[in-house]
Chains A and B, each alone.
Chain A
Amino acid sequence: MSFYLTDAEWAAIQLSLQVASLAIAIALPPAVLLGYALARWKFSGHTLVSALVHLPIVLPPVVTGYVLLVLFGRQGMLGSFFEDAFGLVFSFRWTGAALAAGVMAFPLIIRPVKLSFELSGAQLEEAAHSLGTSRFKTFLLITLPLALPGILSGAILGFAKAMGEFGATITFVSNIPGETRTLSLALYTEMQSLSGDAGAIRLTVIAIAVSIVALVFSEVISRRLSRMLGGQHD
């Protein structure tokens, strides 16, 4: 058995990194805003929004993928809008894989983000308001920096999840080599072929390594940041 990755496997890993990066770039800003809203504001439909956000965790991934296909396919409501307005196509493209990965990673990102907003509380914001900074500026100068450990650990967890997303991706954008065949899909493909055991093992090791590194990294970063920010850890 060779320990070296084939070109196709390298391509899958590179694609996974690319997809996961875009997925986080898409998912992080709304996760931060929504996390803040859920942590700080009381509004009607709070429970409903919270449930919707967490839906991808419990929903069968194939269902999420299918919903994405219906909404973001070329005939779908949102899909045709994005194509007409920005020339952006999701179906059977790597951008679609990123969208699927972003949706699946969203609950994992928003959880620590929301938690860190809840922890920092509204008290410091009140103090900042009384010292003259507007709501927006207070968010940028006080709230956001203090939530950074949560945001970063959410982003890292989300990244790991996006790297390995399978069900929603294969349903929504299929398994096209070089376009949508990410790490998990490549692994699945190798499992299907008679001579693919070695490749499957190589990709499995990589998938496990990525996950462990992400988990450790997220833990270390959030601890170090909290200490730096003078948070609860000391």
Chain B
Amino acid sequence: MIDVDVSSRVGDFALSARFVMSGGITAIFGRSGAGKSSLIRMITGLSAPDSGRIVFGERVVFDRAVSINVPVQQRGVGMVFQEPRLFPHMNVERNLLYSQWAAGRKSVIGLGEIADLLGIAHLFKRRTHGLSGGEKQRVAIGRALLSNPQLLVLDEPLASLDASRKAEILPYLLKLKTEFGIPMLYVSHSIGEIEQLADTLVLLEAGTVVAHGPIAQMLSDLELPQLASGPDAGSLLFATLNQYDEQWQITEFGLEGQTLRLPGQLGKKGQDARIRIRAKDVALACKAPGETSVRNVISVVIESITETSGPYAEVSCRVGEQYLRARLTRHSVHELQLTAGQLVFALIKSVALDQ
């Protein structure tokens, strides 16, 4: 568990952040200039806050009150920066093992294991400047992991890559999370990356933590327009893959006792899945629809209805323990006389599988 409570002022910019992260991936989200990088530089020890306290598990790594400031070398934080920052005068293997030959660290995870996982074993003898952007960033991730970190911090690791390279790296990050279970702090200004990876979200705005909490809850929180507005806003649902229907090539997912069907073979039985549904792709019906081409119809309970100043109303619905958002016109909300607590049917037109 990592407990952060820091504040700092540089020129006109004041940063004040307080949050707690447990295992898994915690994302720090905010637009550029919100103070994301400043915050993680303090957590890693690359800079010192003016006041506050940072605790890693039982270990106090920073406490202004008693003048504790563990230097970056001893904090045990692996860092992946926006640029790969590989050492150009060493080959890939020397880079990967830098913390071991230069700093005497011993890694719990072996070089071979990490190289296989990241798909970089064939690059060992290569010089770094010949690598592609995606390869460089994978080597940088491997190098950080091999320093035996208690915490892995990734500062917009995909920001300098184009879309296809991003798509190349994301699966590796997911594998890291499931295979090694190292807590990760993931900084990004892309909500798409965060939806796919994060368990917890810290929302940073103008140097202040506006909100933090479990990802799905944060994404459907209508009080947080930074996350919940925009044309692609929606909900994130956690489901389990139940079975694959070979005849129709449909994969069925269990969601709180109900079923979602997605085309294609999308994984193995029993696998956890993140399903993303945009609010504008959800329609609501008061009665179970009869014959319809929409395959995904689930029963939900309306939790709240928020009317915006425009033509739309945001409807938040409960599915068991989870939330599904629907964006309807105010007109249809009135015509159907929807109210909180009402049992309705959600017709989901399009579903994206994140994981």
Contacts and interface: CB of A to CB of B under 8 A. Distances in A.
Do these two chains really belong together in a complex?
Answer: yes
Interface of A: 123-124, 126-134, 137, 141-142, 145-146, 228-231, 234
A229 B88 contact: yes
23 contacts: A124-B87, A126-B85, A127-B79, A127-B87, A128-B98, A130-B44, A130-B73, A131-B78, A131-B98, A131-B99, A131-B143, A131-B147, A132-B73, A132-B74, A132-B99, A132-B102, A133-B73, A137-B103, A141-B102, A146-B89, A229-B89, A230-B89, A230-B127
A123 B85 CA distance: 7
A230 B128 CA distance: 8
- Please give me the 9 A-B residue pairs with the lowest Cβ-Cβ distance, nearest first: A132-B103, A230-B88, A230-B129, A131-B99, A127-B85, A130-B79, A229-B89, A129-B72, A133-B103
B21 interface: no
Given A129-B46, A130-B147, A133-B73, 8 more contacts: A127-B79, A128-B98, A131-B102, A131-B147, A132-B73, A132-B104, A133-B103, A146-B88
Interface of B: 44, 46, 71-74, 77-79, 81, 83, 85, 87-89, 98-99, 102-105, 127-129, 143-144, 147
B103 A131 contact: yes
Contact of A133 (B83, B102, B143): B102
B48 to A, nearest CB: 14
Grouping DSSP codes into helix (H, G, I), strand (E, B) and loop, the A interface class, with mixed when no group exceeds half, is helix
Contacts of A141: 102
Nearest to A226: B88
Given A123-B83, A146-B89, A230-B88, A137 B102 contact: yes
A134 B88 contact: no
A230 B127 CA distance: 8
Contacts of B99: 131-133
A87 B79 CA distance: 52
A145 to B, nearest CB: 5
Nearest to B104: A132
Contacts of B74: 132
Contacts of B83: 123
B82 to A, nearest CB: 10
A116 to B, nearest CB: 13
Contacts of B85: 123-124, 126-127
Contact of B46 (A130, A132, A145, A230): A130
Contacts of A129: 46, 71-73
A130 B102 contact: no
Contacts of B89: 145-146, 228-230
B103 A130 contact: no
A128 B127 CA distance: 18
B76 to A, nearest CB: 9
A134 B99 CA distance: 11
